[in-house]
Structure 1
Amino acid sequence: MAQSQSRAPLQRIDAPDAKASASNPATFIFLHGLGDDADGWTNIAQQFHAANKLPHLTWIFPNAPHNHEAMTQAWYTPTSFSPIPVGRSSAAVGAEAEEEEEEEDEEELLQSVEYICGLVDEEVKSGVDLKRIVIGGFSQGCAMRVFRDARARIGETVGEEALEVHEYEGLGHATSGTEFRDMCDFLETIVPQ
């Protein structure tokens, strides 16, 4: 059985425009990637608010739990989806042991999904319309958003038919100002003030 998940407290940055937020609140739940934490991303919300962008938007930056196998913060064990899991023998493993590892990985993943669903439920209880709650993230955090949608309580998600591709040359596995401007434009479109 997977270990219970312990995590640092989430970071919440409330909308600076209380009037706009009260009349038409919106929330963006941003999930960090493997080995990172909420503190590594809160500056995005602070920069948007300082530029008077998305003043009606509350940002929530949850922390992934500490993953004992990965020895870092992780929404799920990163080896779960690798062809040859790192840290596990590539030699033949008994079917029983392999099945137990898969069940632990699945349980861990589902615990993270349930945590994210709980955050959504809390926002709905506080008065945010479900259609004005956005879940996104970086790397493993983005993958968690997809997993969460698979078990969603939300009737709609942004799918391939609405997908708009942006390429950022030379970016690699990082972020850029251009990418954040595009993210801001996207958020202004789907959760307008």
Structure 2
Amino acid sequence: MATRRIEQSQESRRLIVTAATELFAEKGYRQTSFVDIADKAGISRGSIPWHFGNKLGLLETVLDEQLQAVRSGSHVEHVMDFIRAPASRLFITLIGEAVEAGSPIREHYAQLHAALRQAVLAQVPMAALPAGLDPEAVTVLLVGAVIGVHVQWRVSPEAVDLDAVEATMRALLPLSVD
């Protein structure tokens, strides 16, 4: 019986995270309520604070799961697959909230960007960089470019050919280790 309860709890948690990811991506963090999440997940509203403490705890879990997806690989095709993933829209939707002073998600975005830079830095063979370039500055530029491509594609998918972007990244960035 205890095993069944554990399974139900894990399933409830998974449903909540999936629903919250989709709703945060669609409506933003502030505009999404526990009622919205519970309705979409098909669970009791009281399950959310039981699993996550509060809305920020839920967001932290959502961002951590997405961050794990980012960290799981940093090859060019992985980056492009991540951009195409429906859940990655979350990062675009929430960035406006993250840049506001006092935002409860600002620090989480700072950590996310630091992790992205670290993952990219680990993939850049230092010897391949032209002399005098700061590897950390290169990673800031590369992460910024990927974020920019992502935003452009989400805003105007008909105007951005992700396959062409991937081919161009491969041609311009023989830095990535595939």
Shorter-chain TM range is: 0.3 to 0.5
- Per the normalisation by structure 1, the TM-score is 0.35
More helix by share: 2
